[in-house]
Amino acid sequence: MKITQADYVISAVGPAQYPTDGMPEIALAGRSNVGKSSFINKMLNRRNLVRTSEKPGKTQKLNYFMINGAFYFVDVPGYGYAKVSKKDKEAWGRMLEAYFAERDALSAVVHLVDLRHPPSKEDIQMHEFLTYYGHPVITVATKADKISKSKYQKHKQIIIHDLGLKADDALILFSSLNGTGKEDAWRALDPFLH
């Protein structure tokens, strides 16, 4: 994928701020700190377009990025961050529910999980939630640079089993550090960008 344009557009907290141009949207889902913002940067060859952080909870709104004048990446706040208050968690839940349940422009969801660990309860719930709403889900197992290649197959099988992925469900091994899986991810996304 040749990236000719990648621009921050808006941080939305609800439908009133969503873009109205009808361009397809690719949303990122996954636990806090799994690497959603880093994924977008790597895919776009941009170091700092999307702010990342070692501390979880960096992304707090639906951040829209227009790519090549053709589609959006939507960076979504992560789940599973223990230090968030109950009130904030509920607000997050409402914002995400409204987005994933009602957004017609949403074309596909990239669900990031950590290749090193079995999916968490929340990872499994998120996968069920997304498929319940009928969204195409591309599962990306990231931080692949952090384990040895000899463990890839075993860890992949655990993710497939725990999330209940079917034979034709996409599962891509990825690293935002070294670019592993980048071309595979673009290939998986391609049908949803038009």
Binding site for ligand GTP (CB under 6 A): 30, 32-38, 52-54, 56-59, 77-78, 142-143, 145-146, 175-177
Look up residue 142 and give its two tokens: 């990231």
DSSP structure class, residue 152 = H
Q: Closest approach of Cβ 20 to ligand GTP, in Å?
A: 26
Nearest-angstrom CA–CA distance, 81 and 174: 22
Q: Is residue 59 a contact residue for Mg ion (CB under 5 A)?
A: yes
Q: Is residue 58 a contact residue for Mg ion (CB under 5 A)?
A: yes
Other Cβ atoms closer than 10 A to 105: 16
Please, which residue, 30 or 119, has the CB nearer to Mg ion?
30
Nearest-angstrom CA–CA distance, 133 and 115: 25
Question: Which span sits near Mg ion by CB under 5 A: 35-43, 84-92, 149-157, 169-177?
Answer: 35-43
Q: Closest approach of Cβ 74 to ligand GTP, in Å?
A: 12
Please, which residue, 36 or 182, has the CB nearer to Mg ion?
36
User: What does 155 interact with, of Mg ion, ligand GTP, none (CB < 5 to 8 A by kind)?
Assistant: none
Please, which residue, 51 or 187, has the CB nearer to Mg ion?
51
Other Cβ atoms closer than 10 A to 133: 15
Please, which residue, 146 or 187, has the CB nearer to Mg ion?
146
Nearest-angstrom CA–CA distance, 103 and 100: 6
Please, which residue, 170 or 172, has the CB nearer to ligand GTP?
172
Cβ neighbors of 65 (< 8 A, separation 6 or more) are: 6, 7, 8, 9, 40, 44, 49, 50, 72, 73, 74, 75
Nearest-angstrom CA–CA distance, 86 and 140: 28
User: What does 107 interact with, of Mg ion, ligand GTP, none (CB < 5 to 8 A by kind)?
Assistant: none
**Residue number, nearest CB to ligand GTP:** 78
Taking CB under 5 A as the criterion, the residue among 30, 33, 34, 37 binding Mg ion is: 37
